[in-house]
Amino acid sequence: EPEVTQTPSHQVTQMGQEVILRCVPISNHLYFYWYRQILGQKVEFLVSFYNNEISEKSEIFDDQFSVERPDGSNFTLKIRSTKLEDSAMYFCASRRSGGTGELFFGEGSRLTVL
Amino acid sequence: DQQVKQNSPSLSVQEGRISILNCDYTNSMFDYFLWYKKYPAEGPTFLISISSIKDKNEDGRFTVFLNKSAKHLSLHIVPSQPGDSAVYFCAASPNSGYALNFGKGTSLLVTP
């Protein structure tokens, strides 16, 4: 069964460092998303991406964040200068066009900022 | 801004009995609702959805009920099995193409 894959599974970084989280969505999906979950809190929407551009973003997704689809398969989330409060589990998700709306999530990338 | 609320952080049910997980929402523009299940160290897995034109959707042991006037939905699991033990998230969006708003989740424990 096709699945969304994410790398790395866990990254530890120093505050102020740049981090890139990578995702390979399901191959015939056209809508891509990043969510995050801070420990003990709800899953929060960050950004959605369709047709090579951001279609929607939350207040969390400020200038420190960017997304890119550098080739036909990868979808990346970059945090330019990490802060302690960026420590969270980051989930990538994808959805096929014309689907009933359910998102398929990857297993997540845990980011720890020290 | 908590637009989707799951007021019970945890629920414990005996195997074979019914599990009822509740969810309330505040945004009247929401018309598409989903339930996701999450095991530790895994991403959320889609379980079942319902659009606002329906008040009930059933898939095997899982049934979702929607009460639009009360802005309330619930997930029923019958019969509950120990493998159902997980965190269940309610999610909603204005339509099926928009980003999902998640509740904080309810941790279900099904005991033998």
Tens digits of residue pLDDT in B28-74: 999 899 999 999 888 999 999 999 999 999 999 999 999 999 999 99
Condensed to tens digits (0 to 9), the pLDDT of residues A75-108 reads 999 999 999 999 999 999 998 876 567 889 999 9
CB contact under 8 A, B96 and A100: yes
> Pick from A91, A92, A104, A90: which is nearest to A28 by CA?
A104
CB-defined contacts A:B, below 8 A:
56
Alpha helices in chain A (DSSP H): none
Q: How are beta strands B10-14 and B106-111 bridged, if at all? A: parallel
b/e burial code for range A49-64 (CB count within 10 A of at least 16 → b): bbeeeeeebbebbeee
- 3-state class percentages of chain B: helix first, strand second, coil last, to nearest 5: 5, 55, 45
Taking an 8 Å cut-off on Cβ atoms, the answer to whether B100 and A103 are in contact is: yes
Nearest-neighbour CA in chain B from A7: distance (Å) = 13
Question: What is the rounded CA–CA span in Å between residue A104 and residue A74?
Answer: 15
